[in-house]
Structure 1
Amino acid sequence: MIAFDNSYARLPAGFFTRTAPTPVADPQLVALNRPLAERLGLDPDWLAGPEGLAMLSGNSLPDGSAPIAQAYAGHQFGGFVPQLGDGRAVLLGEVVAPDGGRFDIQLKGAGLTPFSRRGDGRAWLGPVLREYLVSEFMAAAGIPTTRALAAITTGERVIRETVLPGAILTRVAASHIRIGTFEFFAVRGDVERLRLLTDHVIARHYPQADGALGLLQAVVAAQAATIAGWMGLGFVHGVMNTDNMSLSGETIDYGPCAFIDAFDPRAVFSSIDTGGRYAWIEQPNIAVWNLAQLASCLVPLMGADQDQAVEQATRAVHAFPAIYEAEWLKRFGAKLGIAAPTATDGALAERLLTLMAASRADFTRTFAGLSDGTARAEFADPAAFDPWHADWQARIATETDPQALMAAANPRRIPRNHQIEAVIRTARDDDDFAPFHRLDAALHEPLQDRPEWDEYALAPTADQIVRRTFCGT
């Protein structure tokens, strides 16, 4: 029922290990993303049936699949680890959608692989539900991202701090190739495999790119646009390691991610980011650092004159700030209702962010409230907001349709940390997935002002605030 075409699995030895998922005891379907299945050219009814469930759980491999665990390295919080790889994920294969797009289908939490290190290869229910909700919200908000095709429970238990219900996420991605994939071969001095990987990524993602330098320039531009999108939503990835940075420009690996409630530009939620390396405000800077690691990997492929290659690669990475600033201005200009923002408009947006930080105003509600006049109420000192508001009103008076721009750029609902934790807790403790499905439905239409979902637009009360998030491994 699935026509696999597995280009990555046709690469030579060293890129992966052939690894089958480990069967589970009692798979039960929690969620199936029917619109995504149809976009991929898959039959959602088949996926929801016995054969599909067997595939989604790893209990049966359909014809044409070529299950593998991918090899990669990575800088984790700045420290280099020469071998990481898929320690709890198995890539079943690739499908070519009716529109011609090529996508990986991966089972996350599918059991031990040769890269599992000291892990158990499994996932527990909480991170699976979190990634399903957040990745699908990001897609609905127009941010490049991996997608969630399905979530299942396994009927088994996994041990973390305590005994927890096991689960598997079926993740869809344009590819799972990371900066760390390039680092894996670069640290080994394997220029031939670096060349094969570069050719593969160009053919798959950037056919217009001219060689390794063109690939680097394309990835720089893609990441600048994606991270500007994160910033416009108040999204904090939490673990921007090089093994969590996709060559396709998609957001990948929603471990300890979170969205800012009361605005703090230095917001950090990840329990393991004790130094604030991956704070909201640092994400563009970390992107440059990560892209510099990619550039170092690609320099050997940029011609015989290595000094010239280093200079070209450096220029490509140094182009990030200007590209990012243009993308940021476009994002925040739209959030203010400005169609063609200038640097002056960027300063206007920065003034608002400064006021929000001083007052701990809710990020999402403030921007959404610009449309309906409720933003002022988000400030502890509303009078401090008034001069900015007067300047903003004068600016948008010259715009043709600022309300339409703001309506398309400012979500009413985001996956708030306390709401995600609440649905995870209910699913874990009561085996009740109704709150999960209700929140998922609300997040699939984040821009719509729907009264029946007003509860999801509320900021957390003092006792609901979630200050720490965890990766689940």
Structure 2
Amino acid sequence: MRLRFDNAFLRELPGDPVAGPGLRQVQGAAWSRVMPTPVAAPRLVVHSAEVAERLGFDADAVADPVFAAVFGGNRLLPGMDPWAANYGGHQFGHWAGQLGDGRAISLGEALAADGSRHELQLKGAGRTPYSRGADGRAVLRSSIREFLCSEAMHHLGVPTTRALSLVATGEVVVRDMFYDGHPRPEPGAIVCRVAPSFIRFGSFELPASRGDLDLLRALAEFCIWRDFPWLLGERAMQPLAALRGAAAFDEALFAAWFHEVCTRTAVLVGHWMRVGFVHGVLNTDNMSILGLSIDYGPYGWIDDYDPDWTPNTTDAQGRRYRFGWQPRIAHWNLGRLAQALSPLFSGAEPLQAGLDAYAATWAECERDNACAKLGFADCGDDDLALMRELQALMQRAGADMTGFFRALADVDVDAEAPSLDPLRAAFYDPARLAANAPALEAWLARYAARCRADDLPREARVAHMHAANPRYVPRNYLAQQAIERAESGDETGVAELLEVFRDPYGEQPGREAYAALRPDWALDRAGCSMLSCSS
């Protein structure tokens, strides 16, 4: 079991002179060396065969007890040099100061056979200098959710970190899930997360807040060199020190980089809105500089369409991170990143241009989503208005977002008066559907006329819609069922869901139950509609 490591983050950026997990304010450093805390009995619960293969692990290597020991935090492979990253962030709109990897420890940057870079990070591996008094551990329930969602999002086509493995620790972790004075012991677990980079908006905010412009510039230059090498062209092959010495990093390059960060973020949010994903805690320390979905905590999936819904009980009053606000929150977060990066620029124009690019790209994504989800060949302003009218009707009538859009492809648009019948199973309350049926039928008539104007063959339209509207998503109740089975000793439900989510757009005969609407028992159940940041 061998991997080749190139730990550029440690090599190229200044580190904490103090090693170990002791709590401290870490100044002038991007990282701190810290070892994972060993666990009692690491045991592999489930793994992603695709991620393992990409990294070079065959089936025999995964089955070897060494694999569970390494990715449970008990052993290191040659070349691993563990660290926790130092960053800050705005949490729920307020500056929170130093945050850092409080329960995540990166093992190293592995280079795959094709040269791609994969940072391997253990979530739940023990205390770090950034644990803020916590134990640095994670529980099985949140680890299952993170593992499943990481892989499901990839197969949905949403930019995301991946998950290599889920390891049970053989230990218990005490958590007060809703911070209401009722802690309980839960089984512990560790997820190995995989991404080209875990650098966040907050990575730049912290040195900027401290006036540490040397670290700010060094981090920006490193991020471009390692994570955005195409911006450097042929110069990307040169050592970073040589580029710094040649003053390759000028304002134009920083502007191009920020522009790409903004457009990637817009594309990411566009995918979230297309599939009905609610991140739940969109703090700036949870925003990837690469435009990936990271930090799957109190996330949720929209069932009945409600743009004001958030799964995070911590956000229950203000609903800052509600589903419908995600585009504006991402823009606000980019504004905080722009503020942090402003010392690298002589004026605000390049940063404003990046923020404007976000707005333009998000508007394009919103139109593209409407086009694809409704099955149009192209989309104009009138079509976007048609989609927004439908969304308002879906909210009033209590339509399930995933079920409705999937069933919309079954409507006979060649009929003079298209029937609601193919859509009825996508509504939660027959009375609400009946009250809104006339408006929905009127909308269907206009929709059918618009489809006929496109003159797309039915097969092409349906294929177009099915490629944008998944049949299977990680509904909260599905994950909770797998969690409860695992906590009672039956872990097979996790692997079953993983297999379903590998083909979210396919029909998967025999697995229709995994596409069922949220059952009534899940409406107000912890883990389904109520989640917290507790792990």
Shorter chain as normaliser: what TM range? over 0.9
Match status 1:405 vs 2:464 = yes
Q: Deviations 1:424-455 (Å, cap 9, x if unpaired)?
A: 11111x11111222122111111111232111
Q: What secondary structure sits across from 1:80 in the alignment?
A: strand
Which residue of 139, 158, 161 maps to 1:124?
139
Q: Deviations 1:384-443 (Å, cap 9, x if unpaired)?
A: 211211222222222252111111111111111111111111111x11111222122111
Q: Are the counterparts in 1 of residues 173 and 185 from structure 2 also a CA contact under 8 Å?
A: yes
How far the C-alpha of 1:98 sits from its partner, in A, is: 3.2
The equivalent of 1:63 in structure 2 is 78
Which residue of 40, 55, 59 maps to 1:40?
55
> Aligned partners of 1:418, 1:330: CA distance in 2, in Å?
30
> Aligned partners of 1:44, 1:108: CA distance in 2, in Å?
23
> Aligned partners of 1:268, 1:32: CA distance in 2, in Å?
29
Q: Deviations 1:2-34 (Å, cap 9, x if unpaired)?
A: 111111111222110001101111011101111
> Aligned partners of 1:434, 1:383: CA distance in 2, in Å?
45
Q: Deviations 1:332-372 (Å, cap 9, x if unpaired)?
A: 21111123222222112111111101111000000000122
Q: Deviations 1:104-159 (Å, cap 9, x if unpaired)?
A: 10000000111111110000000100011111111000000011100010000100
> Aligned partners of 1:348, 1:132: CA distance in 2, in Å?
37
Which residue of 447, 469, 479 maps to 1:392?
447
Q: Deviations 1:34-56 (Å, cap 9, x if unpaired)?
A: 11111233334313312222111
Q: What secondary structure sits across from 2:221 in the alignment?
A: helix
Match status 1:356 vs 2:391 = no
Of structures 1 and 2, the larger Rg is shown by 2
Q: What does 1:439-454 align with in structure 2 at a 5 Å threshold? A: 439-454=497-512
Q: What does 1:58-207 align with in structure 2 at a 5 Å threshold? A: 58-160=73-175, 161-207=183-229
Q: What secondary structure sits across from 1:132 in the alignment?
A: helix
The equivalent of 1:12 in structure 2 is 14
Q: Are the counterparts in 1 of residues 103 and 131 from structure 2 also a CA contact under 8 Å?
A: yes
Equivalent position amino acid for 2:444 in 1: H
The answer to which of 285-294 and 381-390 deviates more is 381-390
Q: What secondary structure sits across from 1:463 in the alignment?
A: helix
The equivalent of 2:240 in structure 1 is none
Which residue of 325, 328, 341 maps to 2:379?
341
Equivalent position amino acid for 1:64 in 2: G
Q: What secondary structure sits across from 1:327 in the alignment?
A: helix
Q: Are the counterparts in 2 of residues 74 and 183 from structure 1 also a CA contact under 8 Å?
A: yes
How far the C-alpha of 1:376 sits from its partner, in A, is: 4.3
How far the C-alpha of 1:188 sits from its partner, in A, is: 1.2
The equivalent of 2:530 in structure 1 is 468
The equivalent of 1:286 in structure 2 is 329
Q: Are the counterparts in 2 of residues 267 and 279 from structure 1 also a CA contact under 8 Å?
A: yes
> Aligned partners of 1:290, 1:313: CA distance in 2, in Å?
13
Q: What secondary structure sits across from 1:319 in the alignment?
A: helix
The equivalent of 1:312 in structure 2 is 350
Match status 1:457 vs 2:505 = no
Q: What does 1:256-271 align with in structure 2 at a 5 Å threshold? A: 256-271=298-313
Structure 1 stretches lacking a partner, 5+ long: none
The equivalent of 2:244 in structure 1 is none
How far the C-alpha of 1:185 sits from its partner, in A, is: 0.8
The equivalent of 2:423 in structure 1 is 375
Q: Are the counterparts in 2 of residues 263 and 361 from structure 1 also a CA contact under 8 Å?
A: yes
Equivalent position amino acid for 1:184 in 2: L
Match status 1:251 vs 2:293 = yes
Q: What secondary structure sits across from 2:151 in the alignment?
A: helix
Q: What secondary structure sits across from 2:520 in the alignment?
A: coil
Equivalent position amino acid for 1:94 in 2: E
> Aligned partners of 2:90, 2:79: CA distance in 1, in Å?
34
> Aligned partners of 1:50, 1:61: CA distance in 2, in Å?
13
Q: What secondary structure sits across from 2:314 in the alignment?
A: coil
> Aligned partners of 1:99, 1:347: CA distance in 2, in Å?
45
The equivalent of 1:414 in structure 2 is 473
Normalised TM-score (structure 1): 0.96
> Aligned partners of 1:114, 1:55: CA distance in 2, in Å?
22
Equivalent position amino acid for 2:343 in 1: P
> Aligned partners of 1:267, 1:128: CA distance in 2, in Å?
23
How far the C-alpha of 1:331 sits from its partner, in A, is: 2.0
Identity level (%): 42
The answer to which of 398-407 and 416-425 deviates more is 398-407
The answer to which of 435-444 and 375-384 deviates more is 375-384
> Aligned partners of 1:185, 1:122: CA distance in 2, in Å?
27
> Aligned partners of 2:269, 2:49: CA distance in 1, in Å?
28
The answer to which of 451-460 and 24-33 deviates more is 451-460
